[in-house]
Amino acid sequence: MSAKAIREYDGKLLLANYLLQSPTLAEEKPASAFVQPPTRLAQVNLSHVSTAEPAEKIAEAVDAALERAERLNPWLQTTKLVAKPDQLIKRRGKSGLLLLNAEWAAVKDWIRERAVKEVSVGTISGVLKTFLVEPFVPHPQDVEYYVCIQSHREGDEILFTHEGGIEVGDVDAKALRLAIPIDQPLPPSERIASALLADISSETQRNALATFIERLYAVYVDLNFTYLEINPLVVLESEDGSAPQVIYLDLAAKLDQTAEFESGDKWARARSDAVVYGTTSSGPGPAMEFPAPFGRELSREEAYIQELDAKTGASLKLTILNKEGRVWTMVAGGGASVVYSDAIAALGFANELANYGEYSGAPSETQTYEYAKTILDLMTRTQHPDGKVLIIGGGIANFTNVATTFKGIIRALKEYKQALIATNVRVFVRRAGPNWQEGLRAMRELGETLGIEIRVFGPETHVTAIVPLALGKAPAGAAGAGFKDSMAKQIPDSTVASTPGTPGQMDVDPLRSGSSATPSVPVAAPSAAEADAEAGSAAPWYSPFTAHTRSIVYGMQPRAVQGMLDFDFICKRKVPSVACMVYPFGGNHVQKFYWGTQETLLPVFASMREAVKRFPDADVVVNFASCRSVFESTKEMLGYSQIRTIAIIAEGVPERHTRKLINMSQKANVTVIGPATVGGIKPGCFKIGNTGGMMDNIASSKLYRPGSVAYVSKSGGMSNELNNIVARTTDGVYEGVAIGGDRYPGTTFLDHMMRYEADPDCKMLLLLGEVGGVEEYKVAEAVRAKKITKPVVAWCIGTCAGMFETEVQFGHAGALANSDSETAEAKNAAMRAAGIHVPDTFEALPALLNQVYSDLVQRSVIVPRPEPEAPKIPIDYAWAMELGLVRKPASFVSTICDDRGQELLYAGMRISDVFKEDIGIGGVLSLLWFKRRLPSYACKFIEMVLMLTADHGPAVSGAHNTIVTARAGKDLISSLCSGLLTIGDRFGGALDGAAELFSNAYDKGLTAREFVDSMRRQNKLILGIGHKIKSRTNPDLRVSIITEYAKKHFPATPVLNYAREVESITTAKKDNLILNVDGAIGVLFVDLLRNSGAFSREEADEYARIGTLNGLFVLGRSIGFIGHYLDQKRLKQGLYRHPWDDISYLNPAAVQGGMSAIKNDRVQVGASKITSK
């Protein structure tokens, strides 16, 4: 979720620190006409105390917290006070949770009576653990005001009413409003006063409020608030005529959590001791906390999953709704997790639903194991008289390897075998996506041995069909038959002599492209937009994607690019849809891909400017930039007039960045899809990135040719389900777009629905909305106003939300209802009333789609065409290996080193064991290299470096050269030299480079953020950062060993500490951008030279400068090179010849011409060429 509520305490600290500091957004900053009172806020925080503890311990903890508050805030004993819980509780005054005008002694008694005790507010019960105490401000009621700033898609809005306080009433009806369009300056104070303050007679108060609102809005934007409400806001005029005080008595606020990388330091600074207690401390405070809603205190298990989620690029979410519940879920995908909860609630089991959660984004086997183990542990703690049900569900994945994630789940199920049997658990599985056959096979095999019932289904079954089966609300065979039972004989078959609309037979299992059966499902006629493109004219506005669309992929995303090229190939495109790639962190080069079964080259440019200049026909950009950099990169793309469409894939883009991009894109007349989207697809023409998943799913959903149904969805994962449903119930998808799950997508449902309405080849529209937001109402209004006349089928997921007692944030950032009108039920009812076809449940959607489609066929609106032959799909060698379809003999045999596991092995001995043996040459080296005896810890460190660098397997370039030379019959010296000659900038040279980069930045006094930003501006990689396999969650043991040793034995490690600060920034962007072993050795050696006491500073700098680090690498690696030479001699290996099938033989023109070979849109495929016309 992006917009997250914060405590009143933290909101007031932010205002206290930044109200007078934040840069103005007005054309001219007005002179302040108010006085900000001093900050006096005391927090009594007992969040660490559990209700399960003995009463005596709870009382001791409460007294300790009160004593601490008294010690840090002496003013508590000298003034009248206000006390209240600070746990996101609405209407505290009306609930009796507000103490006014009390002495500190009375406040302490009041808190003691309520602390760590459960109270009920309305229908929600929760434990009070956090309290806010502040000075009581006596004031007349007529100086109480209400002010609120909230964000909308088009900009921000300020609401103000001159009647504030506990009886403020209906603010929406009575408040005056001032809209501030995005990227527009705040109006001057006079305009603010006339728009919002007309009901205030006192000129002094009006002027004070006008300048206060200017300051408040500056803070709102500067700190990335998404909501800020003050009620009451009190203005106290002074008797001496000086500027009045403006005091914010009660405050509610939300911050954009995705903007933490931009504003996190400012948030933390406001929480520092200097702000809170007025101390002289200059350091930042703790990071901003985002507490759970009242009544939703995080359990230990929820906190653990939250911690796992924070450490990975995947998504792991868990909310416990009812720990005694009978129905537990383990669902893959944000959208899918919602429809499963909907299905359970719709069958009357909302009160039995134990949890909500999801795992997605390709989590590792270990991560899914930990996630599954946590759920199974919770599930098996208590018995249920009817037994328990575990639903392992999910949509059709785009790129998550189902078999890999199921390995982790199966491991957890085996571990909890006895507990599952004792709890009488039944398991129901439905999943699809990459390698789903292997995953489901493994799950079925588990069911034969685990001792509990496990029912397993694939994409032939509707996504939630297992829910009624699991809950005893459907016949035993219903889920297994899936689409067959409900959809068979409802689609007219053009091969049968029947009138339009007469039931025919549908083959509902076209899952393998190699199947000999060719289903005879009708296909739409060729597109009018395609005909225009063939004729050479520009595609119409409603058709941004055609069979001739060319795109630029921003970011190094070879898997996505290969998927796009594979889609092009099976769609029989003449020219690949990807013209080139842009990667700012490398120079211009070419990247190898496949076109069908043969290889081709695509150019990679270092800048967008070069890419658009070289390919003026490319009008689509697929932007894979990170959430931190996507704003700047997209802003640049919007500056090129040839670009018509941009897809922003990144999740976690700050809302203000997105709204600015929306504003700029509208001015540039550019369609923006996303952020937080998988993209979109136009069957037979074009697909964005990873949309549609693997090729087998694209084939089974018949996305290689156009149908008649165009859909728009928020969820990327559910888009695959829609592809599946539409293919099985109609003639297929015409176009599909996932607009993204954020609150403010670049384009809306209506934007795409209006395109589909204008497209003559699109005959039927499908919308999959969700709880939160109001965009579905705009579609309903367009249908009611006859702006959309084609039949529309729609459903809003999230109907279960109203059945939960506490607020639940679903998988997408925008999936949260902020009012009754944003609930799924309200939107479904409104769409139904407007004349849209809305099913009773999501499970009824396929039948309704089929019914509407059949009616269009019967009325000849859709004219069926014979199904074309299913295309053959090439399969990558690596994927074939994953599926166990091929085998390949190894090119080398090595017995001295194995670098494949968690820990490096030398001749079968673990590297940690090597260090335990205390074998070293550090003393000798210190004498020969440095002409002095170094301390014992320094000698030991040098020995550690030599052992770490001694070898890294037979695959690296130096060892490869040594082996090949040895097998050619050359002597030891020649073989060793052939390996050593490969050492340079690309191999082994990162030690010197990392040492120089980090030490220079540290010496210049650059902060870690400044250093990272400067390297980015220079488009340079940070040497010593990044690993292909290891990551923050899968740390490199070698780095841990030497850094822990240095921390224990070195006098100081300032450069290492600095490198770790850099690592904390880089890993926030990508999990594998860790401090690697080269970087660790480099920075630690600088620390050793500078702080051991054996060298002067000049000597230390000189040794670092003249290549000592590279010398260590050469010496250490020579040990391994010699070992490889001896190994090959012992094994009597013969002359090596590289296999020809491991070499790409390309047309000489592609090699000799380099980048210029691509100028005329030629695609090099082996010895042949495909040239665009």
Q: Could you give the residue numbers annotated as active site?
A: 812
Residue listed under structure tokens 């359990």: 299
* Size of the chain, expressed as the number of residues it contains: 1173
What is the DSSP track for 398-410?
SS--HHHHHHHHH
In the sheet that holds 733-738, the strands lie side by side as 686-687, 679-682, 733-738, 709-713, 764-770, 792-797
Backbone angles phi, psi at 1004, to 5 degrees: -80, -10
Return the number of other C-beta atoms located less than 10 Å from residue 101's C-beta.
11
Q: Which amino acid is at 807?
A: E
Beta strands in 105-154 (DSSP E): 118-121, 124-127, 130-135, 144-151
In the sheet that holds 99-102, the strands lie side by side as 42-45, 130-135, 81-85, 99-102
State the DSSP code for 984.
Answer: B
For β-strands 909-910 and 897-898, DSSP reports them as unpaired
**First-to-final CA distance of the chain:** 47
In 3D space, the residue among 397, 392, 431, 430 whose CA is nearest the CA of residue 413 turns out to be 392
Residues whose CB falls within 8 Å of the CB of residue 506, separated by 6 or more in sequence, listed in order: 487, 488, 489, 490, 491, 493, 519, 521, 728
| Dihedral sign computed on CA atoms, order 921, 1052, 902, 1012 | negative
- Give the whole-angstrom CA distance, residue 354 versus residue 329: 8
Asked whether the beta carbons of 383 and 418 are under 8 A apart, the reply is no
In 3D space, the residue among 714, 795, 721 whose CA is nearest the CA of residue 458 turns out to be 721
- Give the whole-angstrom CA distance, residue 340 versus residue 211: 50
- Bridge partners of 687, per DSSP, are 681
- Give the whole-angstrom CA distance, residue 66 versus residue 98: 17
In 3D space, the residue among 526, 524, 390, 356 whose CA is nearest the CA of residue 466 turns out to be 390
Beta strands in 355-512 (DSSP E): 355-360, 388-394, 425-430, 454-457
- Backbone conformation region of residue 693, classed left if phi is above 0, alpha if psi is from -120 to 50, else beta: left
Look up residue 789 and give its two tokens.
Answer: 């006349």
In 3D space, the residue among 795, 846, 792 whose CA is nearest the CA of residue 487 turns out to be 846
| Dihedral sign computed on CA atoms, order 285, 290, 296, 302 | negative
Q: % helix / strand / coil in the chain, to the nearest 5?
A: 40, 15, 40
- Angle at which helix 1108-1131 crosses helix 922-930, to 10 degrees, equals 130
Residues whose CB falls within 8 Å of the CB of residue 152, separated by 6 or more in sequence, listed in order: none
Residues whose CB falls within 8 Å of the CB of residue 190, separated by 6 or more in sequence, listed in order: 210
Distances (CA, A) of 942 to 82, 926, 1073, 1114: 63, 9, 26, 13
Tell me which long-range contacts 903-911 makes (C-beta under 8 A, separation of at least 24). 903/1037, 904/948, 904/951, 904/952, 904/1038, 906/947, 906/950, 906/951, 907/1123, 911/947, 911/948, 911/1037, 911/1038, 911/1041
Look up residue 581 and give its two tokens.
Answer: 């790639």
- Give the whole-angstrom CA distance, residue 1044 versus residue 944: 12
